[in-house]
């Protein structure tokens, strides 16, 4: 019996997306790392990735990679978020590969790897304009000279990230920067950098347009597999199952109320000063879910005519006056989730998880 409020997780559709994304990448010579962080390292979602043929699991949290390892998931583990020196031992223990930009951290990883008699693989991230993580391009040669000399460390190659912070869109031009850098570095430093990790879900659009520069051979994709969307380009991925994680919550109050509060308006519990449009008396529903569970700006009701008007920590407020469906207390409302809303809904401990899998029925 399903408990509410809950996330609805369609494992069968995620598995299909994983298989399709892997095939699309493989057709262009690109190895795919399935990014599980959007599902907060959910084990069943991670297994669906593997069942879809993905052989490399990626997550930004070392705790999730530990969980994958301890659950016996057979995959190469990639740590996405840059590690800090103090967690070097855990990184060596639970991650096969990590993304890096700091020599101090690489030296700590080197020391930990030597102690454990291991060889830890790293991808050096390069900034191509988004201004999140990345060694600046002019500093990269000197950086690599030192990195390549570290024992216990194998520099696989270079990578980049766009879209997540600065909103910079991936193009064949800014992605080819990596290929040109790799070619120059291999010549000048007399080394091999076999991996060029070209990006994330946002970069997959270059595959569809046949604009991916030759030489890019690794992607890190999560959103496109889990939700079939690309928030950076505000698009759905053609041919992929979408909205494979949704949210369902029950109505706990349903009353006609004025659309503007009575009294002097100050700031709400989150420090914002709300503004209200006077629409007269409206039928308002309160749901058993709030900001502690999900980002209210990223939820979209699946029932036409319902408008999200606000949220407190524990309550989501809807204007249901124009709902196409007649509602009553206890009725369930389901929402599609944007990436940020999905991330928060999967991270909270207060939502039940309703797994749906036609293959196991």
Among 190, 210, 236, residue at a domain's last position? 236
CA-nearest of 226, 243, 169 to 199 is 169
For residue 221, tell me if it sits in a domain. yes
Q: What are the tens digits of pLDDT across the range 198-254?
A: 989 989 999 989 999 999 999 999 999 999 999 888 999 999 999 999 999 999 999
- How many separate domains does the chain show? 2
Say what the pLDDT of residue 254 is.
98
Tell me, yes or no, whether 297 and 314 share the same domain: yes
> Could you tell me the pTM of the whole model?
0.93
CA gap 185, 190 in Å, rounded? 8
| Beta carbons of 6 and 351 less than 8 angstroms apart | yes
Range of the domain at 318: 245-356
Tell me, yes or no, whether 152 and 221 share the same domain: yes
**Torsions phi, psi for 158 (to 5 deg):** -130, 160
We report the CATH number of the domain holding residue 55 as: 3.20.20.10
Tell me, yes or no, whether 232 and 269 share the same domain: no
User: Has residue 268 got a pLDDT over 70?
Assistant: no
Chain CA centroid to CA 303, Å: 26
Going by pLDDT thresholds of 50, 70 and 90, the confidence category of residue 333 is: very high
Tell me, yes or no, whether 110 and 162 share the same domain: yes
Tell me, yes or no, whether 218 and 297 share the same domain: no
For residue 4, tell me if it sits in a domain. no
Mean pLDDT, to the nearest integer, of 104-129?
96
Going by pLDDT thresholds of 50, 70 and 90, the confidence category of residue 277 is: confident
CA gap 199, 244 in Å, rounded? 22
Say what the pLDDT of residue 171 is.
86
Tell me, yes or no, whether 212 and 252 share the same domain: no
User: Has residue 262 got a pLDDT over 80?
Assistant: no
For residue 361, tell me if it sits in a domain. no
DSSP category for residue 120: E
DSSP category for residue 84: -
| Beta carbons of 355 and 321 less than 8 angstroms apart | no
For residue 195 the two structure tokens come to: 């991996």
For residue 75, tell me if it sits in a domain. yes
- Give the contacts of 1 (CB within 8 A, at least 6 positions apart): none
Say what the pLDDT of residue 166 is.
66
User: Has residue 120 got a pLDDT over 60?
Assistant: yes
Q: What are the tens digits of pLDDT across the range 36-92?
A: 999 999 999 999 999 999 999 999 999 999 999 999 999 999 999 999 999 999 999
Mean pLDDT, to the nearest integer, of 84-112?
98
Tell me, yes or no, whether 91 and 214 share the same domain: yes
Tell me, yes or no, whether 284 and 231 share the same domain: no
Tell me, yes or no, whether 130 and 229 share the same domain: yes
Going by pLDDT thresholds of 50, 70 and 90, the confidence category of residue 359 is: confident
- Give the contacts of 184 (CB within 8 A, at least 6 positions apart): none
Among 188, 204, 236, residue at a domain's last position? 236
Mean pLDDT, to the nearest integer, of 146-156?
98
Tell me, yes or no, whether 36 and 104 share the same domain: yes
Tell me, yes or no, whether 113 and 71 share the same domain: yes
For residue 1, tell me if it sits in a domain. no
For residue 45, tell me if it sits in a domain. yes
Residues belonging to the active site? 37
For residue 58 the two structure tokens come to: 């990626």
Tell me, yes or no, whether 157 and 46 share the same domain: yes
Number of C-beta neighbours around residue 321 at 10 A = 17
For residue 211, tell me if it sits in a domain. yes
Among 183, 218, 236, residue at a domain's last position? 236
We report the CATH number of the domain holding residue 333 as: 2.40.37.10
């Amino acid at each position: 019996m399903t408990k509410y409020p809950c996330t609805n997780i369609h494992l069968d559709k995620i598995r299909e997306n994983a298989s399709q994304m892997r095939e699309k990448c493989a057709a262009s010579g690109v190895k795919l790392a399935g990014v599980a962080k959007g599902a907060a390292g959910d084990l069943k979602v991670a297994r669906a990735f593997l069942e879809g043929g993905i052989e490399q699991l990626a997550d930004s949290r070392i705790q999730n990679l530990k969980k994958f390892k301890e659950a016996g998931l057979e995959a190469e583990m990639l740590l996405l978020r840059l590690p800090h020196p103090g967690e070097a031992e855990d990184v060596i223990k639970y991650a096969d590969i990590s993304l890096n930009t700091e020599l101090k951290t690489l030296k700590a990883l080197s020391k930990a790897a030597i102690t454990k008699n291991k060889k830890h693989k790293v991808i050096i991230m390069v900034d191509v304009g988004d201004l999140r993580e990345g060694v600046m391009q002019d500093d990269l040669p000197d950086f690599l000279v030192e990195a390549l000399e570290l024992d216990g460390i194998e520099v696989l190659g270079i990578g980049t990230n766009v879209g997540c912070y600065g909103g910079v869109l991936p193009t064949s031009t800014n992605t080819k920067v990596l290929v040109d850098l790799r070619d120059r570095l291999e010549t000048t430093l007399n080394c091999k950098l076999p991996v060029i990790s070209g990006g994330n879900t946002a970069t997959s659009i270059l595959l569809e347009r046949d604009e991916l520069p030759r030489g890019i051979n690794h992607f890190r994709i999560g959103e496109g597999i889990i939700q079939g969307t690309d928030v950076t380009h505000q698009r759905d991925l053609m041919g992929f199952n979408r909205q494979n994680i949704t949210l369902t919550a029950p109505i706990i109050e349903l009353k006609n109320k004025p659309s503007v509060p009575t009294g002097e308006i100050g700031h709400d519990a989150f420090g914002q000063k709300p503004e209200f449009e006077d629409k007269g008396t409206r039928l308002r529903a309160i749901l058993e879910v709030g900001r502690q569970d999900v980002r209210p700006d990223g939820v979209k009701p699946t029932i036409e005519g319902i408008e999200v008007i606000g949220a407190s920590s524990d309550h989501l407020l809807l204007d249901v006056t124009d709902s196409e469906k007649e509602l009553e207390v206890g009725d369930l409302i389901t929402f599609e989730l944007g990436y940020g809303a999905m991330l928060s809904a999967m991270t909270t401990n207060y939502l039940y998880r309703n797994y749906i899998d036609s293959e196991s029925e």
